[in-house]
Structure 1
Amino acid sequence: MHRSVFFVLVFSVVLGTGIVFSSHHWFTVWVGLELNTLSIVPILCGSFSPRNVESSVKYFLIQSVSAAVILNVVVIQAWLYSSWSISQPLGGYTSLLMTFAIGLKLGLFPCHYWFPDVIQGVGFLQGLALSTWQKLAPFVVLANVVDSLEVSVLACLGMLSVLVGGWGGLNQTQVRKVLAFSSIAHMGWICSTVGYSLSGGCVMLLVYVIINSGVFLLAGEYDLKSLSHVGRLSYFNYGGAVCLALGVLSLGGLPPLFGFSIKFVSLSCLVASGSFLLAGVLVLGSLLSLFFYLRVAFNSMLVLFPQHSMVIFGWRSLSSNPKGVTTLRGFTLSLSVGLSLFGLCCFPVLFSFL
């Protein structure tokens, strides 16, 4: 793909998300979502390999179905209330349809099946965009209509997403699939909280984007496709192995690390609203996720993953950039890793938004 075409597509993706952020009319929200989807699809299949094209087609079909459901909800709202305003409360039937459409875009249970396959079929940078940036526009739509949705339904979907995300990642050996199921579990935490505290859900999403960006960029920098590759990382770059282990443990919510703020904010909001059962189930679901987080951390630093002695690891291509040259990717990697490891120092600032 030519560089100018790539920059135009990236600008269109950012523009589509910006339209959703600034819109108060349902039609412009739908236009922003469609512009975002149509612009990200050529980026996903940039290498034109069969696996990339398959994942791009899956992503396009899922996003098209969800956008069509949103458009149907908008038409029903305009027919019943003669209003295209996004602030118009949804009815009982339309609120369920909107919950289904947003859950399909965010990868919530039972609409999560497409997300691990799509993440596995694209590169690390594309997977980073799908698991972070592409979640922003649907989350803004969810934040605008959350007062009209059934909080119990949204909380149940989030709770089941945490359980499915933890259970599905237990026997995975591919790093991208592990991160995909981790994303499903984290979106379950966020959506379970946003019905009770919108500001708490926004803080949790911000923290998740920072931590997940660091882990994805580290895995993409060292081309860690499977846990066997992770197990060989400490042999040639011990600093990268330490940062990866701490980043993964931060995703798991280890208290000294920045990821602990996600669990703390969610549990504080749920306990304050009296949802003790939901908080307990979320904690039990996070224990499942903690198992494969610890497995990735152990493989990166402490133990060697079971593998054949003839496994070839492409470490020679890691030093292609000249030493001392600062790139945008390197700066973003350093910033996201630094914040994910030491960002708990700014936790009082984040908690002040609640």
Structure 2
Amino acid sequence: MHRSVFSVLVVSVVFGTGVVFSSHHWFTVWVGLELNTLSIVPILCGNFSPRGVESSVKYFLVQSVSAAVILNVVVIQAWLYSSWDIGQPMGVYTSLLMTFAIGLKLGLFPCHYWFPDVIQGVGFLQGLALSTWQKFAPFVVLVNVVDSLNVGLLACLGAFSVLVGGWGGLNQTQVRKVLAFSSIAHMGWICSTVGYSLSGGCVMLFVYVIINSGVFLLAGEYDLKSLSHVGRLSCFSYGGGACLALSVLSLGGLPPLFGFSIKFVSLSCLVGNGSLMLAGVLVLGSLLSLFFYLRVAFNSILVLFPQHSMVVFGWRSLGLVGGGATTVRGLALSLSVGLSLFGLCCLPLLFSFL
């Protein structure tokens, strides 16, 4: 793909998300969602591999169905209340349809099956965009309509997403699928909390984007496609293995790493609102996720598997790490990994937004 075409598509993706952020009219919200989807699809299949095209088609179909459901809900709202205002309260059935559409866009249970396959079929940078930036627009829609939705139903979908994300990632050996199920689990945490605290859900999404960006950028920097590749990472980059292990543990929410703030903020909001059962289910699902987080961390640096000397020499001669030139990707990687490891000191600042 030509650089100018890629730049135009990236600007269109950002513009579509900005339209959703700034709109108070349902039609412009739908236009922003469609512009965002139609701009990201050519980026996903930019290398024109059969697997990438397949994932792009899957993503396009899923997003088209969810946008069509949102548009039908909007038309029903306009027919019943003669209003296109995004703050207009919804009825019982329209709120159920809106919950389904937003869950399909975010990859929540039971509409999560498409997400791991799509992430597995695209590159690491495209997967990073799908699991971070592409969550912003539907999350803004969720924040705008959360007062009209059934909070109990949203919390149940979030809890099941945490359990499914933890259970589904247990037998995975592909790094991108592990990160995809991790994204499903984290979106479950966020959506379970946003019904009780909008500011808490926004803070959790911000922290998740920072940590997940560091893990994706590290995996893309060293081309870690499977756990066997992760097991050889320490043979040619001890620093990269250590950073990957700590970033993954931060994604799992172990204190004193930055990812612990996601669990801390969520449990604080849920316990403060008396949702003790929901908090217990989320903790149980987090324990399932912690198993494959620890497996990735052990493979990267904590356990050194026996390797043949020719294999070690081959990996060390790949030259995957740049020669010290400063790039935007390197700066983003340094910032995200640094905040993932030492960002817990920002916890009082995060609580000031609650």
Aligned residue pairs, count = 353
Query: Hey, what does 1:105 align to over in structure 2?
Result: 105
- Is 2:40 aligned against 1:55? no
Per-residue deviation, residues 31-66 of structure 1 (Å, max 9, x unmatched): 000000000000000000000000000000000000
Matches within 5 A, 1:86-125: 86-125=86-125
Taking the aligned partners of 1:280 and 1:334, their CA distance within structure 2 comes to: 35
**Are the aligned partners of 1:77 and 1:84 in contact in 2 as well (CA < 8 Å)?**
yes
1:317 Cα offset (Å): 4.2
Taking the aligned partners of 1:319 and 1:307, their CA distance within structure 2 comes to: 19
Identical positions, percent:
87
Taking the aligned partners of 1:130 and 1:353, their CA distance within structure 2 comes to: 26
Q: 1:51 to 1:351 in 2, by over 3 A?
A: same
1:325 Cα offset (Å): 1.2
- Is 2:132 aligned against 1:132? yes
Taking the aligned partners of 1:114 and 1:233, their CA distance within structure 2 comes to: 29
What residue identity is the alignment partner of 2:154?
L
Query: Hey, what does 1:267 align to over in structure 2?
Result: 267
Per-residue deviation, residues 186-218 of structure 1 (Å, max 9, x unmatched): 000000000000000000000000000000000
Q: 1:93 to 1:305 in 2, by over 3 A?
A: farther
CA RMSD of superposed structures (Å): 1.5
Matches within 5 A, 1:317-332: 317-319=318-320, 321=322, 323-332=323-332
Taking the aligned partners of 2:42 and 2:139, their CA distance within structure 1 comes to: 23
**Are the aligned partners of 1:244 and 1:297 in contact in 2 as well (CA < 8 Å)?**
yes
Query: Hey, what does 1:297 align to over in structure 2?
Result: 297
What residue identity is the alignment partner of 2:209?
V
Q: 1:143 to 1:219 in 2, by over 3 A?
A: same
What residue identity is the alignment partner of 2:51?
R
Q: 1:150 to 1:293 in 2, by over 3 A?
A: same
Query: Hey, what does 2:334 align to over in structure 1?
Result: 334
Query: Hey, what does 2:155 align to over in structure 1?
Result: 155
Segments of structure 2 that go 5 or more residues without pairing to the other structure are: none
Q: 1:87 to 1:222 in 2, by over 3 A?
A: same
Query: Hey, what does 1:251 align to over in structure 2?
Result: 251
What residue identity is the alignment partner of 2:60?
F
Query: Hey, what does 1:172 align to over in structure 2?
Result: 172
TM-score computed with the length of structure 2 as normaliser: 0.97
Taking the aligned partners of 1:114 and 1:310, their CA distance within structure 2 comes to: 39
Query: Hey, what does 1:241 align to over in structure 2?
Result: 241
1:305 Cα offset (Å): 5.8
- Is 2:84 aligned against 1:45? no
1:72 Cα offset (Å): 0.2
Query: Hey, what does 2:287 align to over in structure 1?
Result: 287
**Are the aligned partners of 2:34 and 2:67 in contact in 1 as well (CA < 8 Å)?**
yes
Q: 1:91 to 1:305 in 2, by over 3 A?
A: farther
